[in-house]
Structure 1
């Protein structure tokens, strides 16, 4: 049951709410269009369907639309909107100057998104969401991506400025946990997107403009994966924000430990960067020693992941026992399974367990050889970002959007929210499981049905491709349900006040050490890890490249 609001109900500032909602509009438009592209993709891939109404858009073009809109645009816009609202709710309203920085960032991101999307739709940027060279896109596509990155930096700066203003006005006090988490994720995003910014501005954009004849492909891939793996944690940490702070309030419980939550975020920040080369284990241009080092460092991320699992289930158990749960698992049935704000993110939490196990396979030096560049990897992404993260975001949207628009999540919409989460879980179970199984048989990660190597081999994969089409269809139905809920919560649901749930720390929890907020120390450690992990590999790549520095610097 949803809790009644009290007199202490705190709203996000109205001006901040408008900025946060602007991001939500773009995010859910991206969800609808990207989801439609995903549906077309799995239908065509099954070999049983062609695109409807004589549509001539190519398979890889649809794949590019699906990847960019969902993995980059939906996530980035939603995360920025959620973090802006979280900081405004817990640290107070932004200043007018900070809001101007934020709006400037939003419009830069929107213009960049439109520019990049236009090139993809015109079939001038069918380069997939990884945009690996030697695939080349129109220069406007790369410029659009650059604008998205720069705009996001401004939004992060807005949030960091607010954090330091709060610290200045509240000297000696521990910052609000949600604000702290948002700032850590902003620092992570600025740091990781430097890699893709260098790749785009100094390699791909000059190359597409004809200013340089060629680029160092291995260097571009290394810069991308410096960004690409940390991107996973940029997606994940906002979900952790909801799991640590929001979900405990929804179930009527408390945060198990403020210090543990902050420490896990710091560890994610540190372990997000010196690990990208584990995506390049099959590439011969990187010395084996550095591959081994980054594989080892990759497994360190298990530590904050297990810390999070322990904290969450400790919170669930304490609350379940408060409500009368007995025995080893008796507390489990007392959780609020009828509340979409809890059930939908919980399904995402459960999906993250096999998703994390698959990640261990991907990062393992030997096991990676079996699944590298097969559709197993796609199935893994769909368990992590497309289920654990996406369902948490949807669960957040069900209360955040009505909070920002001054409406309420009605019992009917709450019911539909549960339906959408269950549909998503079923559809993803079918689709992702078939992807993992087909990947073990060697099915390629990105390949249209008609281009499979041979009729006999393709026949072995047909049942799995059909299963993916079935799962993808169920997922698109879930998207339609979610879009209906979102439209209702923006414009048609009854006027009222929906709570922004923020839990308090459990009584008796240890005081948070001040060192966790000393970003000077963590910044030095972060830079040291990046320098250690990447300096020698990049020097080796540039010095041994046929293109040399000419392919790296446009001048």
Structure 2
């Protein structure tokens, strides 16, 4: 990659790493407050910490890292950005950065203590909602640069199958653009007019539904870049090959279809939505298991074939042949393994009767810490260990690799302790989103003290791991020996098999997605609007 495009990706990564270290510190403070180990000074509100942790970790860290990664994948596979395309991508970066800074300022000064879900009737400063809009609009500019580059390659190479990484990048962006329609609609037409005083009331059910139209595919926006590393880069790192190009593309397309029209499964206990529509969206939610199982099959087929080629015998002999001492493999693979209990927890969350057991308990928080906090974070860590040196013209040294293994193990242990305590105490009724103030006449720590202490212990290990990660990244970016690190892109196991052309017919797949979305949401949203409380000034039907 040329230096100009490398700087673009690096700028995104530096913001992402800054966000995660601050978010980690706030997360530890939260656990210590809940366990009554510390008392916050009067000028800090617990819910400010909660909001900052969620926004910085779930939105800022992930979004900046993902777009830095996607830019690198596109440039590496379909060619350097032109001056105009690169300028568009930089505009996106600065809009995202301005939105991030403005949003964090609002949280710090106490004008946006609304959590990362910003549920109404909690109200923030209009500047917080404007900040969210700037962040999303910035991603549109960044995504436009990548999609334009992909289309440019296809026009110059008519009849040829596009590089798998570029295809996956576009699939991720298609999912993101369709999904953000919901959050853009609720921010622009509901929250901003409401926070500015242009309307007196807000349709709470509609705002939450539009948020979760975005909120669930947001999880797959986090996951698909991790899947890109699993499908394409891990095979190269272990010395194997991609099991199937066509299967990988189909899995990504199915994620677009099945991950967007499913937001109601986050609202199973909310009024204002009929049980029939909730049932329909739960069915679509469980359909997303299909591409997940396709991914698991493909990846473990790659591992087994590679192990057999190295002489592995027996049912699980190939497991021993994997490069466990290579952090580029070890960190993402640990993320894959932790996705198994994370997926099982997701099935429970989306199941009507079981959801009633864990609804609004800290079990749900534990689930998020397994998905984004473990699966996604560990994969992104593993990618950054080789990508940061690559972009800076340096190499991944043996010492950094060893420290990366330790950092990964620390993260695994800390997150396992924390998430296990969250899941188990959630089954006992431990509430989420709470401070240590009275809950049914008792403090949180009084009822679940041992579990809260375990969370604080896990959070401490996580912060230590983050500090180690941050130090290692600084060394890798600026002080590691100069050289050329590998950008691992795997080859297909059977390159003679032609990828079906319909897999790149975007009009068809986007059309199917739109039909599913319209079917799942049109009638419920009309009902929410028609039966909304009266009394708003202007924008009445909102």
Give the match for residue 23 of structure 2. Answer: 34
Q: CA offset at residue 456 of structure 1?
A: 8.2
Given the alignment, which residue of 119, 129, 133 partners 2:106? 119
In the TM superposition, residue 56 of structure 1 has moved relative to its aligned partner by 3.0
Instruction: Indicate the residue corresponding to 1:504 in structure 2.
Output: 491
User: Per the alignment, do residues 516 and 45 of structure 1 end up closer, same or farther by CA in structure 2, a change over 3 Å counting?
Assistant: same
Contact preservation (8 Å) 1:271, 1:297: yes
From 403, 410, 417, the equivalent of 1:416 is: 403
Q: Is the CA contact 2:33–2:436 (under 8 Å) kept in the aligned structure 1?
A: yes
**Alignment equivalent of 2:450, drawn from 451, 458, 463:** 463
Decide whether the 8 Å contact of 1:212 with 1:554 is kept in 2.
Answer: no
Deviations 1:4-49 (A, max 9, x none): xxxxxxxx23211111001001000001111111011111111122
Task: Report if the CA contact (8 A) 1:403-1:499 is conserved.
Answer: yes
Match of 1:4 in 2: none
Of 542-551 and 473-482, the range deviating more from structure 2: 542-551
Q: Distance in 1 between matches of 2:303 and 2:77?
A: 23
Moved more, 357-366 or 509-518: 509-518
Aligned to 1:320: 307
Is residue 20 of structure 1 aligned with residue 9 of structure 2? Answer: yes
Return closer, same or farther for 1:548/1:213 CA change in 2, 3 Å cut-off: closer
Question: How large is the Cα RMSD of the aligned pairs?
Answer: 1.4
Aligned mates of 2:262, 2:497 — CA distance in 1: 32
Q: Is the 8 A contact 1:250 1:342 kept in 2?
A: yes
Cα distance between partner residues in 2 of 1:99 and 1:143: 25
Superposition deviation, residue 454 in structure 1: 2.9
Deviation at 1:547, TM superposition (A): 3.6
Give the conservation status (yes or no) of the 8 Å contact 1:195–1:223: yes
| Alignment correspondent of 2:282 | 295
Matched, 1:95 2:82: yes
Unaligned runs of 5+ in 2: none
Q: 1:139 to 1:431 in 2, by over 3 A?
A: same
Separation of aligned partners in 1, 2:381 and 2:534: 46
Correspondence for 2:97: 110
1:552: Cα distance to partner? 5.0
What is the rounded CA distance, in whole Å, between the counterparts of 1:177 and 1:55 in structure 2? 53
CA-to-partner distance for each residue in 1:443-498, whole Å, 9 max, x for gaps? 11110122332338753311110000000110111100110111111111111111
Which runs of 5 or more structure 1 residues have no equivalent in the other structure? Answer: 1-11
> Would you say 1:131 and 2:131 are equivalent positions?
no
Q: Deviations over 1:476-531 (max 9, x none)?
A: 11100110111111111111111110000013663211100000100110110000
Is 1:453 the equivalent of 2:440? yes
Q: Give the match for residue 426 of structure 2.
A: 439
Determine if contact 1:203/1:553 at 8 Å carries over to the other structure: no
Contact 1:428 1:471 in 2 (8 A): yes
In structure 1, what is the equivalent of residue 354 of structure 2?
367
State the partner residue of 1:514: 501
Match of 1:9 in 2: none
Change (3 A) 1:422 1:509: farther
Q: Report the Cα distance in structure 2 between the residues aligned to 1:379 and 1:497, rounded to whole angstroms.
A: 39
Query: TM-score scaled by structure 2?
Result: 0.98
Asked if the contact 2:102/2:127 (under 8 Å) is kept, the reply is: yes
**Contact 1:256 1:509 (8 Å CA) reproduced:** no
Match of 1:6 in 2: none
Contact conserved, 2:437 with 2:443, CA < 8 A, in 1?
no
1:193-204 aligned at under 5 Å gives the runs 193-204=180-191
2:297 to 305, 310, 320: 310
Residue 332 of structure 1 is aligned with which of 316, 319, 333? 319
Contact kept in structure 1, 2:34 and 2:445, CA below 8 Å = no
Q: How does 1:246-325 map to 2 (within 5 A)?
A: 246-325=233-312
* 1:35–1:476 CA contact under 8 A, matched in 2: yes
Contact in 1 for aligned 2:437/2:444 (Cα 8 Å): no
CA distance, structure 2, for counterparts of residue 335 and residue 78 of structure 1: 27
Aligned-pair distance for 1:322?
Answer: 1.0
1:442 and 1:17 map into 2 onto residues whose CA distance is: 48
Deviation at 1:438, TM superposition (A): 0.8
Distance 1:133 1:457, change over 3 A: closer
Q: Is the 8 A contact 1:136 1:208 kept in 2?
A: yes
The TM-score with structure 1 as length reference comes to: 0.96
Give the SS at the match of 1:449.
coil
Match of 2:36 in 1: 47
Q: Distance in 1 between matches of 2:444 and 2:506?
A: 54
1:388/1:59 CA distance change after superposition, 3 Å: same
Within the alignment, does 1:146 sit opposite 2:133 as a pair? yes
Number of residue-to-residue matches in the alignment: 542
